[in-house]
């Protein structure tokens, strides 16, 4: 059964394999193993996904689970002070270095490290050079939290 759980789709994208399944024997399962509850079971390669965009401070949705988004973002320089009233945020640094400023102290987050910013806590991310960061947070999370300005993004692209 290893072929079934390997995730190998033999070069067929989930969307395509789903459409190929349409019109088949009516007794066949309506949802094949490539797709369950609308979610892809293909793996994500972070380097490949990060190569698809260049903009800074513009998070891209790369996956979703349990009402949360996994987002990829490139940081360069400083962001704005803000907090989130209802959401905790996870920042995982996959490349470069991030400094998370809090009112009381700063925390340097290096490649391979992550930090969770609890809800309600004022914070300002700053990249040293360029940093590639994975975010994990509820779908409702706005990038600038309680602040709305020119850096606020209401709609996020997917990669």
Stretch in the footprint of Ni ion (CB under 5 A) among 16-24, 57-65, 70-78, 140-148:
140-148
Q: Which residues contact 146 (CB under 8 A, 6 or more apart)?
A: 82, 83, 84, 85
CA distance 98 to 107: 8
Nearest residue (CB) to Ni ion, 59 versus 145: 145
Q: Nearer to Ni ion by C-beta: 34 or 96?
A: 96
Minimum CB separation of residue 133 from Ni ion in Å reads: 11
Residue closer to Ni ion by CB (options 21, 144) is 144
CB atoms under 10 Å from CB of 110, counted, come to: 11
Task: Give the phi and the psi of residue 113 in degrees, each rounded to 5.
Answer: -120, 160
- The answer to whether the CB of 151 falls within 8 A of the CB of 79 is yes
Min dist. Cβ of residue 145 to Ni ion (A)? 5
- Binding part of the chain for Ni ion, among 5-13, 55-63, 130-138, 141-149 by CB under 5 A, reads 141-149
- Please identify, using beta-carbon distances, which residue of 96 and 145 lies nearer to Ni ion: 145
Smallest separation, CB 140 to Ni ion (Å)? 12
Element (DSSP H or E) covering residue 137: strand 124-138
Size of the site for Ni ion (CB under 5 A): 1
* Binding mask of the shown chain, residues 99 to 138, with x at each position contacting Ni ion by CB under 5 A: ----------------------------------------
- CB-CB neighbours of 119 under 10 Å: 14
- Which H helix or E strand runs over 14? helix 14-21
Residues that bind Ni ion (CB under 5 A): 145
């Amino acid at each position: 059964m290893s072929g079934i759980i390997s995730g190998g789709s033999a070069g067929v994208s989930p969307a395509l394999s789903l459409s190929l399944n349409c019109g088949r024997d009516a007794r066949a399962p309506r949802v094949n193993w490539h797709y369950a509850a609308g979610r892809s079971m293909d793996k994500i390669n972070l380097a490949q996904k990060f190569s698809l965009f260049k903009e800074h401070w513009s998070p891209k949705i790369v996956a979703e689970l349990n009402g949360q988004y996994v987002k990829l973002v490139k940081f360069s320089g400083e962001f704005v002070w803000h907090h989130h009233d209802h959401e905790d945020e996870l920042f995982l640094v996959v490349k470069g270095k991030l400094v998370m400023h809090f009112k009381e102290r700063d925390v340097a987050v290096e490649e391979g490290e992550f930090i969770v910013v609890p809800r309600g806590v004022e914070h300002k991310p700053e990249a040293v050079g360029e940093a590639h960061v994975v975010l994990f947070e509820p779908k409702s999370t706005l990038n600038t939290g309680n602040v709305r300005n020119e850096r606020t993004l209401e709609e996020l692209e997917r990669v």
